[in-house]
Chain A
Amino acid sequence: MNETTETMTSALESKIGAFLRKLLKLGDDVPLDAEADLVQQIGLDSIEAFDAVASFHELLNLPIPDDFNPRTANSIHNLSNYLMDRFGPDAAERFLDLDLDKVTLGGDQEDL
Chain B
Amino acid sequence: MMPSYGKKAIEDLLPHRGEALFLDDAVVEGSHVSTHATWTDSHPHLAGHFPGLPIVPGVFLIEAAAQSAGVLLASLGDGAARLGLLSGVRKSLIHRPVRPGERICFELDVKQIGDTNFCSAVGTAHNEVSDKVLTVELTVAIVMREAIER
Instruction: Determine which of B115, B117, B139, B141 lies in contact with A54 in the assembled complex, contact meaning CB atoms within 8 Å.
Output: B139
A61 in the interface (beta carbon within 8 A): no
Given A51-B88, A54-B139, A69-B115 contact (CB < 8 Å): yes
Jot down 18 A-B pairs with beta carbons below 8 A, ordered by A.
A46-B117, A46-B141, A47-B88, A47-B118, A47-B139, A50-B118, A51-B88, A54-B113, A54-B139, A64-B114, A67-B115, A68-B114, A68-B115, A68-B116, A70-B114, A70-B115, A70-B116, A106-B90
> How would residues 67 to 104 of chain A score, 1 for a CB under 8 Å from any chain B CB and 0 otherwise?
11110000000000000000000000000000000000
Residues of A within 8 A of B141 (CB): 46-47
Q: In this complex, what residue of B is CB-closest to A51? A: B88
> Which A residues form the contact surface with B (CB < 8 A)?
46-47, 50-51, 54, 64-70, 106
CA distance A68 to B112 in the complex (A): 10
Those 3 A-B pairs whose CB atoms lie nearest each other, nearest first? A68-B114, A47-B87, A69-B115
